[in-house]
Structure 1
Amino acid sequence: MTNYNIALIGFGGVNRAVAELIASKNDLWERDLGFRLNIVAVSDLHLGSVISPNGLDAKTLLAANFTKGGFGQLSGGSPEANNEMIIKKAPADIIVEATFTNPNDGEPAVSHCEWAIQSGKHVVTTNKGPVAFAAKRLKALAEAKGVCFEYEGSVMSGTPVIRLADTALAGAELQGFEGILNGTSNFVLGRMESGKLFAEAVKEAQELGYAEADPTADVEGFDVRLKVVILANELLGASLTPDDVSCEGISDLSGLDIENAAKSDSRWKLIGAAKRNADGSVTGSVAPKLLPRDNPLAGVNGATNAVSFLTELLGTVTVTGPGAGRIETAYALLSDIIAIHAAKTANNKEAA
């Protein structure tokens, strides 16, 4: 049995869910997966930071209901966040990065990942920023340092869309994809179909926790643009940056547009897409698209995500699943750790 020490960067919904899973599932993981996880450090902008080489009890972290700077009450704790120190100095094997995504440059998460890799630590992240802006550089650095950089949850939360396409569709000759990659915008469009105005639908999404106080990244397509970059570069071998992907959101769609779509037995969806062109280049786009109801993406409702892979040998293969959620996203981080463990186990067998 292997024990992995982990440091949590950010202690919001996702990494709190990771702690919840550790508190309840470690024995199961030991039996079924061959490893246990031990939290040795946490850093959070609101709560501060704490290091404990012997480990922090996950149940205590969850039950304490800390106020601002609350980690300062713990042995080895400080009321101030210190992400760089925690990443570089904590006795962690794996850095679990789950901080806010900056859609303009991916910072500070890009630096978080780089510090970890430079320190010889594996990284698992749900953050789109480091992958969209710096995946090539970070993967090369990870290979040079002999560690893993994993990011399955950066596109569709717990739905394993990247690994599925990499493995199950290997050899199917992927030509492109199109998908509903933002649950908030999909929810808003659905509510507009029921008669709500755009502003009313956005407010409802905020009240339900689907949308942030500033919903711009969701409704204007910026979130989807990052995900298009990730999938295009990862699966189509492109070298796109966010600036290379044209982007249009849903804020200009009117109630009349929605009504006319229904009359023509169609639905508006915000679609992120990329395709391989005849000359081998790859182009990406984000825009509202009118889909006939027999399109598999047209039937995707609420905050669900879906992506249709366009292949030469299989035709269109559509994957649908949760694109958000605390536990679902925490599962993506677990799947990354499972991948790290599998690679370590394989390397140990080769060495033997």
Structure 2
Amino acid sequence: MTRYDLALIGFGGVNRALAELIAERADTLEAELGFTLRVVAITDLRAGSLVRTDGPGIDLAPLLAVEPGELDFSMLAGGSPDPRNEWVIREVPADIVAEATFTNPTDGEPALSHVRWAVEAGKHVCTTNKGPVALHGGALKELARRHGVCFEFEGTVMSGTPVLRTARRMFGGLAVNGFEGVMNGTSNYVLGRVESGLSFADAVAEAQALGYAEADPTADIEGYDVQLKVMILAGEVLGADLGRADVPCTGLSALTTDDVRRAAAEGLRWKLVGSASRRSDGTVEARVAPVALPTEHALAGVSGPVNAVAFHTDLLGTVTIAGPGAGRVETAYALLSDVIGIHERTTTPASVETLLEAGRA
């Protein structure tokens, strides 16, 4: 039976939820997927670091029984008050590094270094962090290819909804000419509540109270989160290497409550849409902006925290993928699906040979 040893970098909502999935579904994973998972290291900015590479690895149940803010790894055997991220990533004998730290839209750090350290150490990486993928995805994929490891990031665009994996696997033989999507649940929820009668300020406050919006909702409300997702998706399905300057971004502050309600009265619905399309000369045009969509549009009915992306193809026309676009469990499932993808790639003979060739290049 194949076993993968995991190092969890960051132990906030997402990796904590991944630990819950591992603890709760170990038997299912073994029976249905043919592998087991053992967590051998956890690092966290507040809790420190914990390493146990012997026996069953880290016992997750006691950690999950403690409130997140009360964890202190230094009190446990193998623990330290220092996160020791670089040492853990480079030196602890893990097979897969699951990176789930905060997103930095400016330069991708510290997640960028976390990914690089893992790849350079010959370890597979899965991450939900948009920063390094959007800003340095091409270079990181090439680095992973050279080292013969997998670099997976399904959770960076639509949380647990497998939009990237679906596009890679199911659109073979099709020409994808562009896409447009509602890719931020917070902004979508706020627009829906404003349409129902709330002010923007009250709608944002309600979203925060429900856990849909961060204490500082700027990245969601002003479209910066969607901007990074457009960059990632354009790279995957259109082969475009876009920087933030290539994706003009207009957020919800460009709208008034009257704009939203007037559109509703006219049979239109405002959505914060991220889009990219291929021009006739082969270059890619992209943007993020509020758009008033007719009710029959594929994205008009997307409500609340649900996300959706409509892909425009040559043979099938428009193909729309919809599903949860946020949530700690949903995003943790994306990491688990990445682990499953790594297992499939490294246990398929052709994939193994591809990885070995990449490592020899």
Residues 67 and 214 of structure 1: CA distance in aligned 2, closer, same or farther (over 3 Å): closer
* Cα-to-partner distance string for 1:41-75 (whole Å, 9 max, x where unaligned): 00001111111112101212211336556000111
Correspondence for 1:334: 336
Residue in 1 that maps onto 2:358: none
Task: After TM superposition, give the deviation of residue 118 of structure 1 in Å.
Answer: 0.4
Q: Report what 2:28 is aligned to.
A: 28
Q: Which amino acid aligns with 1:304?
A: V
Deviations 1:128-163 (A, max 9, x none): 011101111111111111110000111000100011
Structure 1 CA distance, aligned partners of 2:26 and 2:185? Answer: 30
Q: Which residue of 1 aligns with 2:127?
A: 125
* Aligned counterparts, 1:196-211, within 5 A: 196-211=198-213
Q: CA deviation at 1:347?
A: 3.1
Query: Which structure 1 residue ranges, 5 or more long, are not aligned?
Result: none
Q: 1:236 matched to which residue of 2?
A: 238
**Aligned-residue offset at 1:80:** 2.1
Question: How far off its partner does 1:348 sit?
Answer: 8.1
C-alpha distance in structure 2 between counterparts of 1:252 and 1:153, whole Å: 29
Q: Measure the CA separation in 2 of the matches of 1:312 and 1:299.
A: 24
Please say if residues 69 and 79 of structure 1, whose CA atoms lie closer than 8 Å, have aligned partners that are also in contact. Answer: no
Q: Which of 108, 111, 123 is residue 110 of structure 2 equivalent to?
A: 108
Q: Tell me the equivalent position of 1:16.
A: 16
Partner of 1:223: 225
- How far has the Cα of 1:172 moved from its partner? 1.9
2:63 touches 2:71 (CA, 8 Å); kept in 1? Answer: no
Give the secondary-structure state (helix, strand or coil) at the position aligned to 1:11.
coil
1:251 to 227, 236, 253: 253
> 1:271-290, aligned counterparts within 5 Å?
271-290=273-292
Decide whether aligned partners of structure 1 residues 226 and 338 sit closer, same or farther in structure 2, where only a CA change above 3 A counts: same
CA distance in 1, matches of 2:60, 2:3: 15
- Any stretches of 5+ residues in structure 2 without a counterpart? 354-361
- Say whether the 8 Å CA contact 2:10–2:44 is kept in structure 1: yes
Q: What is residue 357 of structure 2 aligned with on the other side?
A: none
For 1:210-255, what per-residue CA distance to the aligned partner results, in whole angstroms no more than 9, with x for missing partners? Answer: 1111100000000000000000011101111122100000122111
Per-residue Cα deviation, 1:1-53 (whole angstroms, up to 9, x for no partner): 11100000000111011110111111110110011110000000111111111
Residue type of the alignment partner of 1:53: T
Structure-2 change in CA distance of 1:43 and 1:233 (3 Å): same
Match of 1:58 in 2: 60
RMSD over equivalenced CA pairs, Å: 1.3
Q: Pick the aligned partner of 2:94 from 92, 95, 101.
A: 92
Once residues 66 and 219 of structure 1 are traced to their aligned partners in structure 2, the CA distance between those partners, rounded to angstroms, is 27
- Give distance in 2, aligned partners of 1:348 and 1:103: 36
User: Quick one: which amino acid aligns to residue 248 of structure 2?
Assistant: S
The answer for the alignment partner of 1:323 in structure 2 is: 325
Question: Which of 331, 340, 343 is the aligned partner of 2:345?
Answer: 343
CA contact (8 A) 2:345 2:352 kept: no
Q: Corresponding residue for 2:171?
A: 169
1:350 Cα shift? 6.8
Deviates more, 1:342-351 or 1:254-263: 342-351
CA contact (8 A) 1:174 1:236 kept: yes
- Identify the range of structure 1 (5-14 vs 76-85) with the bigger mean alpha-carbon deviation: 76-85
Q: How many residues align?
A: 351
Supply the distance in 2 between the matched residues of 1:233 and 1:319 (Cα, whole angstroms): 18
Q: Could you say if the C-alpha distance between residues 75 and 315 of structure 1 is closer, same or farther in structure 2, counting changes exceeding 3 Å?
A: same
Q: Distance in 1 between matches of 2:215 and 2:304?
A: 19
Most deviating of 221-230 and 60-69: 60-69
* Preserved contact between residue 69 and residue 78 of structure 1 (Cα < 8 Å): no
Measured at CA, do residues 226 and 5 of structure 1 come closer, stay the same or move farther in structure 2, by a change above 3 Å?
same
Structure-1 residue corresponding to 2:192: 190
* Helix, strand or coil at the partner of 2:343: helix
Q: After superposition, where does 1:133-152 map in structure 2 within 5 Å?
A: 133-152=135-154
Letter in 1 for 2:101: T
Quote the offset at 1:84 in angstroms.
1.1
CA pair 18-69 structure 1, distance change in 2 beyond 3 A = closer
Q: Secondary structure at the match of 1:251?
A: helix
Shift of 1:90: 1.4
> What do the CA deviations read for 1:258-280 (whole angstroms, capped 9, x no partner)?
12101210000000000000000
The whole-number CA distance in structure 2 between the counterparts of 1:97 and 1:42 is 10
Tell me which amino acid in the other structure corresponds to 1:38.
R
Give the distance between the partners of 2:328 and 2:348, measured in 1 at CA.
30
Contact 2:160–2:332 under 8 Å retained in 1 = yes
Deviations 1:267-315 (A, max 9, x none): 0000000000000000110000010000010000001100000111111
Once the two structures are aligned, what percentage of the paired residues are identical? 59
